[in-house]
Structure 1
Amino acid sequence: MPDAFGGQSGWAPQPPRSIVPTPAATREDLRGRRVIVGLPGFGWRGDLRADEKVVQGSRTYVPVIPEHEWYKAEAEQIEVFAPLVPVDRVWVEVLASLDQPLPDVVSRLVSLDAPPRREAVPIADGIRVTGRRVVQVVDGVERRDLRAVTEMYASADGDVCLRVATELEWYRWGWSGQSPRTLEISTNLLWLE
């Protein structure tokens, strides 16, 4: 909660920006962007990455692949199959501006016409966080594209911590078996994305 001087009062750090799904049809910069696909009223699928739009005849499509395949293709410079999804079924994950207020209970009700806005949750409020996307916030600077590699534990200094890896390291672990390089971070600096 902001104090009278615009700073953060108490020990709670400022949460990271929310993720606001935006129609891919309104964006030009899709290559490598995190996307959500689905049908209004039916459901949504995330943890996907997009490539640039493709026009076939009069229709526009977005090549979309699972995130683990995206990282492997980029790291090893290989080609992967990317299904073409109609652009009107693709939303890009965009970070909200810093001045957008957090929604109240009523405004958190979702419409089934688009993927919902995603608010960050303090990591300490999470259950079974291993493998989940996390954001580290230090002095108001957000570090994203991280994955939790462990659950919360007490460090040698008695702090409540979590080990995290970059997403590239996380996914490389899956396709190569190579253990990721991890970093121990205090949970008061981490949020579930």
Structure 2
Amino acid sequence: MRLHRLTLTAFGPFGGTQSVDFDELSAAGLFLLHGPTGAGKTSVLDAVCYALYGSVPGARQSGGQGATLRSDHAAPGTRTEVTLELTVAGRRLEITRQPPWERPKKRGTGTTLDKAQTWLRAYDATAGTWKDLSRSHQEIGEEITQLLGMSREQFCQVVLLPQGDFARFLRADAEARGKLLGRLFDTRRCRATLGCSPPTRCCPGWR
């Protein structure tokens, strides 16, 4: 998986719209995401997870999908939105998610609730255009999980290292780690060649 661009609006500490160009950041290789406490480092990672899976890591899911994601600094008429452009399994995709939003009514006083929205698009390199694939939460969730080969919980354990879940992954028993790493790195050829079944010394998860 390669991330290209992340755009946040009214998400976490970001009241307006902010964009992260991962292609530019990674042009020289590795890059460091740093800043003082409260600068929004974790919120950037939360936004990536939310775009992919429709929820944020671990304990920060409390309060529902929309309530805790929306920035306290956002203007009343600005809707929370996350858009992630990435390449996975050779396909360039764009995922946009908007959590439920209690917005001011267009007429009269009070508020009304807009439902959550999700879009998935794929880039057609031949035509040079984006093609709509789905607006179904369930279809998009299944598609992303299949392409990444990881559930949200596994993604948070293995990829989002700062969240602390990686430490729990390291403390897991050999069988649990072997199953996950075997799925991530596709060790079927190794097992077929050596005739072993995890956990063994030739397979991930052995200790």
Structure whose CA Rg is larger: 2
Structure in which a larger fraction of residues adopt helix:
2
Q: Which bin holds the TM-score, normalised by the shorter protein?
A: under 0.3
Structure in which a larger fraction of residues adopt strand:
1
When normalised by structure 1's length, the TM-score is: 0.26
